[in-house]
Amino acid sequence: MSVNPGQPVVAVVQRIEIKKLRQGENLILGFSIGGGMDQDPGQNPFSEDKTDKGIYVTRISPGGPADVAGLMMGDKIMQVNGWDMTMVTHDQARKRLTKKKEDVVRLLVTRKSLEEAVKQSMGKKYPCYKQ
Amino acid sequence: MDTESTYSGYSYYSGRSRGSHRHGERSRDRHKSRSKDSRSEKSVTINTPPAEPLLGDSSVRGEQVQDDNWGETTTAVTGTSEHSLSQEDIVRITKDLEDSVGLDCRRYFTLTLAVILGLLVFLTPLAFLVLPHLLWPEKLQSCGTACEGLFISVAFKLLILLLAVWALFFRPPRAGLPRVFVFRALLAVLVLLFVVSYWLFYGVRILDSQDENYQGIVQYAVSLVDALLFIHYLAIVLLELRQLQPCFSVCVTRSTDGETRHYNLGQLSIQRAALAILEHYYCDFPVHNPALLSASKSRAAKHLAGLKVYNVDGEFPAASAEVFKAKLKAYLLDSPGNNAAAGLAHSQSRAMIAAAARRRDTSHNELYYEEAEHERRVRKRKARLVVAVEEAFTHIKRMQEEEQKKAPGDVMDPREAAQAIFPSMARALQKYLRTTKQQHCHSMESIQQHLAFCITNNMTPKAFLESYLTPGPTLQYSRDHWLARQWTLISEASVTSGLKDGSVFLLKCVDFSLVVTAKKIPYIQMSEEYIDPKSHKFVLRLQSETSV
């Protein structure tokens, strides 16, 4: 999952659909994000590559919509409803996730265990996606 | 030939003249022949340790162990020292002569030589000036103004030379070193040669031919004094300045408890380096306390006593376990002198030691709990002591001037005040000293003296206690507690050779020895890097977490 600027990013992703929960007048998803283009990537505990400025899931409230949908802590969010999240600032990411008009967010997330699972199931014929 | 070099510390003579003189080879042979006797008398004093079996063993066996490690080239005892005497000290010396006749005769002899050389040096210019007037006054040209000006110059230069020699050489000697101080001997020889050559020239060219040009003679005398001043400059550089720049870093370790210190020394001979190290030793190392070593010795004895004997190889005869253990002990502690027993024990002992190591050993457990218990006890006693002393100090108050006139009643001087408050803290202090095994370092008299001293100088109870809570350097304790003033320098290289990288030598006294290792301070290549003050700029790097 290394990010080379200018090169296309290839990753094994999982589609996760989260239905927002209404709490009072807010729609919440039940997780916290960290990272972003304007943040310090070295302090990210979940990233493999410490120069990766992507958006990561840092906390999941247990029993919340994200937890129910299968989101896991440490996941990197690649797309939200079709919008790319690999090159956004922290605030932009937050806005994309918390649009009041959308009830459902469809995320594409990636994690290390996905790649390994695919590799194991396909055997050695599966091409390595690591660049 | 295995000999040790000794230097004795009992030298309190206050006179020292310039360039105390050694005869070179002749006196060295004489010194060597006397070394055997003086070594025997010195080894008698060295081998009467104050009842410490651990050290007693090693001091008796010391020479054999040193045979293995220190080789054949350990240095000879000369016990010479360079001192000179001023008149009043000669009286004192005659009293001390009864103590060590052999050594002091030599010292006295060399001291008188040094005095003679000094007198020769100082009187020579005056003799050069006066002799023409005595021997051929009629033929002599009268001394004009330039010549008389030179008289003043000679007088003042001689005065300066006298003051300089007094400053550099007339100092109380610090110690007696085993070998001659090479630079001093060289300087003395140089001065002697110089003066002799001037006399020769004077004798041949001036006295014989009865030269009338008195101004020339005066200028000759002035040139002599100038040259003597330059030799004095050389003496300063060689004796004092050369060793100031640090060149070696020495690591000094005490053999009994492993206390280690590091010092930086310049280019010195081994004996002078040893002297410098000993002076630091008395200030820096905490005082040697043999009572603290007894715990590890008893543990070592227990290890040996608790070993089980296993018959590992077949040919071990049916001897008793004690004989075997005695052989093992002999193997471990003795030098391999008797090969037969050693060979037998060697193969057996390896099996034994391995077996003992595998055996379930609880001594580490005992050590841990014993030390924890001791720590607790010390802390408890210390708390009691601190409280007792603080309370005692509150009873004493310094009396002001006005009060003195009003109430001339129960007024005490510091000594009486100390004696008054001492009983309330005496018991707590004694118990604390017993627990930390320091009771032999402090007598009641010394404690009371220290208390009076602290009261006089307005010290707090904490300041009073500081000298009892931590073991201080040896200098802090009373003079008769300094068990070691006689030190032996043991070295593979000659003690007058300079320190080198990796040189190791030993300074042995009665109870323990100091192991000294020298390392060269490396050549430091320093480079510079310029930082523009405007280049200090910073950015804020955040890692925020937002919940959605």
Nearest to A54 by CA among A99, A108, A100: A108
Mean pLDDT across A48-73 = 91
Least confident of A59-73, A86-100, B50-64: B50-64
User: Which residues contact residue B429 at a Cβ distance below 8 angstroms, ignoring those fewer than 6 apart?
Assistant: B385, B388, B389, B447, B468
pLDDT (0 to 100) of residue B62: 38
Asked if pLDDT for residue B154 goes beyond 50, the answer is yes
Mean pLDDT of B521-545: 90
Q: Euclidean distance between the first and final Cα of chain A, in Å?
A: 8
Does position B542 have pLDDT exceeding 50, yes or no?
yes
Distances (CA, A) of B508 to B47, B91, B253, B486: 12, 33, 12, 9
Are A31 and B542 within 8 A, CB to CB? no
Q: Which band of pLDDT confidence, cut at 50, 70 and 90, is reported for residue A85?
A: very high
Q: A103 CA to chain B: closest CA distance, Å?
A: 13
Cβ contact B547–A59 (<8 Å): yes
The pLDDT tens digits for B113-142 are: 888 999 999 999 999 999 888 888 888 888
A94 touches chain B (CB under 8 A): yes
Distance from CA of B385 to the nearest CA of A (A): 53
The residue type of B415 is R
Whole-Å CA distances, B491 to B32, B278, B496, B499: 17, 15, 11, 11
Residue that has been written with the tokens 């931590």 in this structure = B470
Among A27-41, B302-316, B331-345, the minimum mean pLDDT is found in B331-345
User: In this model, does residue A93 exceed pLDDT 50?
Assistant: yes
Distance of alpha carbon B146 from alpha carbon A26, whole angstroms: 113
Question: Closest Cα of chain A to B540: distance in Å?
Answer: 9
Q: Within a 13 Å sphere around the CA of A94, how many CA atoms are in the beta-carbon half? A: 14
pLDDT tens digits, B325-377: 676 666 666 554 445 555 555 666 666 666 656 555 678 888 899 999 999 99
Give the residue, B342 or B310, on which the prediction is more confident: B310
Distance separating alpha carbons of residues A110 and A49, to the nearest angstrom: 14
Alpha-carbon gap, residue B192 to B22, rounded angstroms = 12
Q: How far is CA B152 from CA B26, B37, B165, B214, B337, in A?
A: 42, 54, 20, 15, 74
Higher pLDDT, B63 or B421: B421
Strand partners, A107: A16, A80
CA distance A115 to chain B (A): 26
Cβ pair A44:B543 closer than 8 A? yes
Is it the case that residue B19 has pLDDT exceeding 50? no
Q: What is the DSSP letter of B165?
A: H
Residue B215 to residue B225: CA distance in whole angstroms: 15
Predicted pLDDT at A9: 83
What pLDDT score does B452 carry? 93
How would residue B270 be classed by pLDDT, with cut points 50, 70 and 90?
Answer: very high
The band of B20, judged by pLDDT with boundaries at 50, 70 and 90, is very low
% of chain B surpassing 70 pLDDT = 68
Whether the per-residue pLDDT at A4 is higher than 50: the answer is: yes
Q: Given pLDDT bands bounded at 50, 70 and 90, which one contains residue B53?
A: very low
10 Å Cβ neighbour count for B254? 19
Q: Which residue has the higher pLDDT, B89 or B152?
A: B152
Please say whether the beta carbons of A10 and A61 come within 8 A: no
Please, which pLDDT band fits residue B513 given cuts at 50, 70 and 90? very high
The contact set of B with A (CB < 8 A) is: 541-548
Bridge partner list, B546: A33
Q: For the segment B486-507, what is each residue's pLDDT rounded down to a tens digit?
A: 889 999 999 899 999 999 999 9
Q: Are B475 and B283 in contact (CB under 8 A)?
A: yes
Amino acid at B108: Y
Give residue B91's pLDDT: 55
- Which DSSP helix (H) or strand (E) runs through B37? helix B25-46
Is B300's pLDDT higher than 80? no
For B517, the 3-state DSSP assignment is: strand
pLDDT the model gives residue B224: 94
Closest CA to A1 of A42, A46, A40: A46
Check residue B35 and give its pLDDT: 38
- List of domains in chain A: 13-125 (2.30.42.10)
Secondary structure in 3-state letters for B96-111:
HCCCCHHHHHHHHHHH
Higher-scoring residue by pLDDT: B44, B236: B236
**pLDDT greater at residue B30 or residue B194:** B194
Q: Which of B541, B544, B547 sits opposite A90 (nearest CB)?
A: B544
- Answer yes or no: do B547 and A39 touch at CB < 8 A: no
Quote the pLDDT of residue A31: 93
3-state class of B155 per DSSP? helix
pLDDT in tens, B194-218: 999 999 999 998 888 888 888 889 9
State whether A33 and B543 contact (CB < 8 Å).
Answer: no
What pLDDT does residue B525 have? 95
Give the pair of three-digit tokens for residue B42. 């010195």
Beta bridge partner(s), residue B513: B508
Chain A: closest CA distance from residue B529 (Å): 29
Q: What is the mean pLDDT of residues B523-535?
A: 94
Query: What pLDDT is attached to residue B465?
Result: 92
* Confidence at B380, pLDDT banded by 50, 70, 90: very high
Nearest C-alpha of chain B: how many angstroms from A126? 36
Query: Which of A4-13, A55-64, B310-319 bottoms out in mean pLDDT, i.e. has the lowest?
Result: B310-319
Residue B521: alpha-carbon gap to chain centroid: 22
Q: Distance between CA atoms of B303 and B97, rounded to whole angstroms?
A: 51
Q: In a 10 Å sphere around its CB, with 0-12 CB exposed, 13-18 middle and 19+ buried, how is residue B29 labelled?
A: exposed
Among A17-31, B151-165, B170-184, the minimum mean pLDDT is found in: B170-184
Residue B311 scores a pLDDT above 90: no
Strand order in the sheet with B487-491: B5-7, B487-491, B504-508, B513-520, B248-254, B260-265
Q: What gap in Å lies between CA B286 and CA B275, rounded to an integer?
A: 18
d(CA A80, CA A93): 9
Residue closest to B374 by CA, chosen among B435, B447, B442: B435
First to last CA, chain B: 90
Segment B522-529 shows an average pLDDT of 94
**Chain A nearest CA to B538, separation (Å):** 14
Give the span between the Cα atoms of B373 and B392, in whole angstroms. Answer: 29
Q: CA B515 to CA B506: how far, in whole Å?
A: 5
- Cα(B3)–Cα(B70) distance, integer angstroms: 11
Query: Average pLDDT of B381-410?
Result: 82
Q: Which two tokens stand for residue B61?
A: 């066996």
Per the prediction, chain A carries an average pLDDT of: 87
User: With an 8 Å Cβ cutoff, are A32 and B545 in contact?
Assistant: yes
**Which chain B residues contact residue A43 at CB under 8 A?**
541, 543
Is A59 in a helix, a strand, or coil? strand
| Residues contacting B279, CB < 8 A, separation 6+ | B174
Q: Which residues of chain A neighbour B542 with C-beta distances below 8 Å?
A: 38-40
CB nearest A40 (choices: B541, B545, B546): B541
Q: How many CB pairs under 8 A join A and B?
A: 40
Helix (H) or strand (E) holding B134, with range, is helix B101-135
For B51-70, what is the mean pLDDT?
39
Q: Which string of b and e fits B125-145 if b means at least 16 CB within 10 Å?
A: beebbeebeeeeeeebeebee
- CA–CA separation, B18 vs B187, rounded Å? 9
Classify burial at B422, counting beta carbons within 10 Å of its beta carbon; exposed 0-12, middle 13-18, buried 19 or more: middle
Residues of chain A neighbouring B545 (CB-CB closer than 8 A):
32-34, 58-59
In this prediction, residues B166-172 reach a mean pLDDT of 83
Is the pLDDT assigned to residue B288 strictly greater than 90?
Answer: no
pLDDT greater at residue A4 or residue A130 = A4
**Interatomic CA distance for residues B187 and B491, integer angstroms:** 26
Contact state of A34 with B544 under an 8 Å Cβ cutoff: yes
* Residue B319 pLDDT exceeds 70: no
pLDDT of the residue at A3: 62
Structure tokens at B144: 């004009």
The pLDDT, as a whole number, for residue A7 is 85
Which of chain B's residues have a Cβ under 8 Å away from the Cβ of A39? 541-544
Residue B299 three-state SS: helix
Q: In chain A, what residues touch B539 (CB-CB under 8 Å)?
A: none
**Which of A31, A58, A97 has the most B C-beta neighbours within 10 Å, making it the best mutation to test the interface with B?**
A58
When pLDDT is cut at 50, 70 and 90, the band that residue B523 belongs to is very high
**Which range has highest mean pLDDT (B30-44, B167-181, B188-202)?**
B188-202
pLDDT at B431 over 90: yes
DSSP B438-487: -TTT--HHHHHHHHHHHHHTT--HHHHHHHHHS--BGGGS-GGG-----E
Q: Which of A16, A39, A91 to mutate to test the interface with B (most CBs of B within 10 A)?
A: A39
- Check residue B315 and give its pLDDT: 52
Opening angle at CA A129, ends A127 and A130, nearest 5: 125
Smallest CA–CA separation between B264 and chain A, in Å? 45
Calculate the average pLDDT of chain B. Answer: 76
pLDDT-derived band at B181, boundaries 50, 70, 90? confident
Looking at per-residue pLDDT, the higher value among B94 and B15 belongs to B94
Whether A65 has its CB under 8 Å from any CB of chain B: the answer is no
CB contact under 8 A, A33 and B542: no
User: Residue A39 and residue B544: Cβ atoms within 8 Å?
Assistant: yes
pLDDT of residue B227: 95
Residues in chain B closer than 8 A to A40 (CB atoms) = 541-543
